[in-house]
Amino acid sequence: MIVLRAPAKLTRYLEITGRRANGYHELRSEMTSLALADELTVDESGDYVRVRNHFERPVPEGGENLVARALALVERRAGVVIDKLIPAGGGLGGGSADAAAILRWAGGVDPLDAVRLGGDVPFCQVGGRALVEGVGERVSPLAFDDRPVTLFIPDFGISTRDCYEAYDELYDAGWRPSGSNHLEEPACAVEPRLALVLVQLRERFGDVRVAGSGSTMFVEGVISDFGDVTGPAMRLRVVSTTTTPAGA
């Protein structure tokens, strides 16, 4: 058995710079790896993908999981158990991180191949801190920046596909994005509860931002006294973590 770490990725800013004819979005963003990570136990004699999920959010198993697609890409077979500590639908690249861990285990692939599994996979295969451009296939490493981060994880996820569809609908209706994350308003349109909790968190903690397409929110630094900011209608998990260099 081999145990692989699959670090979450945090998107510090995300600008959408265009849309290709095939519908994919061009972006420019800064991503960094986090100490928060899934763990993959790999049995090289097996042939399965199973998930031990720590969240009440569905995660596909078997052939529908990105790990199975990554194994197919590198033409390998293995039994993999994923200990899921990164929330699905949280904007932290959990599925992409898992797929990238398999790619690294198999020796790595070209970013143009990795991006076929998802826009975050090329970055997750490299890790650390980087400028990410194109549809995710252009990854330019940046100097490591050691920072503590506090994550606010609600009890709902947001589909990345739904978020980009909402972006297109808003854009085509005349809206234009602003701020450090061009997906924040679309994410709030998909899941109005996100907008409500953002208001509460910003009143308490200042510069709270949405991580990628959400639903996770974050603030840089350590929050030790967060109390009850959501009320009885929503649970909010608070996780303190740190940025990590490539290979950590």
CATH code of the domain containing 240:
3.30.70.890
| Known active-site residue 120 | yes
pLDDT at 2: 95
Task: Based on the fold, state whether residues 131 and 168 are members of the same structural domain.
Answer: no
Sign for the pseudo-dihedral over CA of 107, 108, 113, 115: positive
Last residue of one domain, picked from the residues 141, 173, 188: 141
- What gap in Å lies between CA 88 and CA 159, rounded to an integer? 9
> Is the same domain home to 30 and 125?
yes
* Among candidate residues 141, 161, 191, the one where a domain is terminated: 141
**Dihedrals phi, psi of 218, to nearest 5 degrees:** -150, 160
Q: Same structural domain for residues 96 and 191?
A: no
Catalytic residue (choose from 9, 38, 84, 98)? 9
Q: Are residues 128 and 158 in the same domain?
A: no
Same domain, 71 and 114: yes
Q: Which of 112, 141, 170 is the last residue of a domain?
A: 141
Same domain membership, residue 113 and residue 195? no
**Residue 74 and residue 155 in one domain:** no
Q: Are residues 88 and 167 in the same domain?
A: no
Q: Are 8 and 33 in contact (CB under 8 A)?
A: yes
Among the listed residues 83, 110, 120, 168, the single catalytic one is 120
Are 8 and 119 part of one and the same domain?
A: yes
Do 109 and 230 lie in one domain? The reply is no
List average pLDDT for each run of 10 residues in the chain, which is 248 residues long: 96 96 94 98 95 82 91 97 94 96 97 96 98 98 96 93 97 96 98 92 93 95 72 75 93
Q: What is the pLDDT of residue 228?
A: 62
Judge whether 82 and 55 are in contact, CB under 8 Å: no
Question: What are the residues facing 140 on neighbouring strands?
Answer: 131
The CA–CA distances, whole Å, from 24 to 87, 97, 214, 220, 246 equal 24, 20, 19, 30, 27
Instruction: Say how many domains are in the chain.
Output: 2
Instruction: Please say whether the beta carbons of 32 and 69 come within 8 A.
Output: no
Owning domain of residue 223: 148-244
CATH number for the domain spanning 32: value is: 3.30.230.10
pLDDT at 106: 97
Same domain for 121 and 166, yes or no, is: no
pLDDT at 84: 95
Catalytic, 9? Answer yes
| Predicted structure pTM score | 0.94
Residues 96 and 195 in one domain: no
Instruction: State the pLDDT at residue 102.
Output: 98
Question: What was the pLDDT predicted at 234?
Answer: 66
